Structure 1
Amino acid sequence: MQLSTGSHCVFNLKAHLIFVVAYRRKVISSTILERLKEIFADLCQRDQVRFLECSGEEDHVHLLISYPPTICLSNPVRKLKTISSLKIRQEFFNQIRRMLWGKRFWTKSYCVISVGDGATTAIIERYIKNHRLN
């Protein structure tokens, strides 16, 4: 497990994010996916978030990010969705206009799943429960 350090903490926070295209439309081509990766990587770098991985299918993407505890996760998520939506709609308008309308590329919601390095929730619960003073 690789730990990062802040001014007053040591941490390893990772999140698996899933963004779904509005109306589950199948508009993400390999070209759009590559562009999304570039956009996400650039936005993460600006926001003290580490972009670790990204992949997807025609109607959704998966991202793996690492972030410091000083960041409220909903803030970078909002930026990732808003700016990527704007750029994709601008750059690929002719390709997606028949499938999507309005100003939305992503659904309003998203999925976030915390990611650990090897220890399951049950293992951590057991460790905390059994970690007592002698």
Structure 2
Amino acid sequence: MCNYHFVWIPKYRRSILVGKVAEYTKEVLEEIAKELGCEIIALHVESDHIHLFVSCPPRYAPSYLANYFKGKSARKILQRFPELKSKANRGKLWTRSYFVATAGSVSSETIKRYIEEAKSRAD
């Protein structure tokens, strides 16, 4: 398995990932991970960005994983919360860009701790 830390943001870094939207986003990302045979090591949904630390089979390129998680989650979130379409540019919930790093240069435990600490600061 390969460990990846992904971070991505909504269009215009709008603070839309709150309340029921945030909870549903977590559910959707967990479903997608399961579908791909990935294990979520840490997940934190902030109002304006997402941290996803995931362990996935090496058959998936990081770019494929990022696009799959972002694409499928956007479709499901916009379907469940159509009012967000007005805040999404041309139906695009996420920006095109994302950050990804492997756990090679930093330990998996360090990345997990960073995400967990960010989660506790937000609560």
Question: Which category describes the TM-score, using the shorter chain as reference length?
Answer: 0.7 to 0.9
Partner of 2:63: 74
User: Alignment length, in residue pairs?
Assistant: 107
**Cα root mean square deviation, aligned:** 1.9
TM-score (norm 2): 0.77
Q: What's the offset of the Cα at 1:50? A: 1.2
Q: Pick from 75, 98, 117: which aligns with 1:110? A: 98
Q: Which runs of 5+ in 1 are unaligned?
A: 1-10, 120-134
Aligned identity (percent) is: 25
Partner of 1:52: 41
Amino acid at match of 1:111: F
Q: Considering fraction of residues, name the structure with more helix.
A: 2
Q: What's the offset of the Cα at 1:107? A: 0.2
8 Å CA contact 2:3, 2:108 repeated in 1: no
TM-score (norm 1): 0.71
8 Å CA contact 1:44, 1:76 repeated in 2: no
CA deviations on 1:62-99 (whole Å, 9 max, x unpaired) are 111001222212222211100111111111122x2443
8 Å CA contact 2:5, 2:102 repeated in 1: yes
Distance 1:70 1:97, change over 3 A: closer
Q: Which has the larger radius of gyration?
A: 1
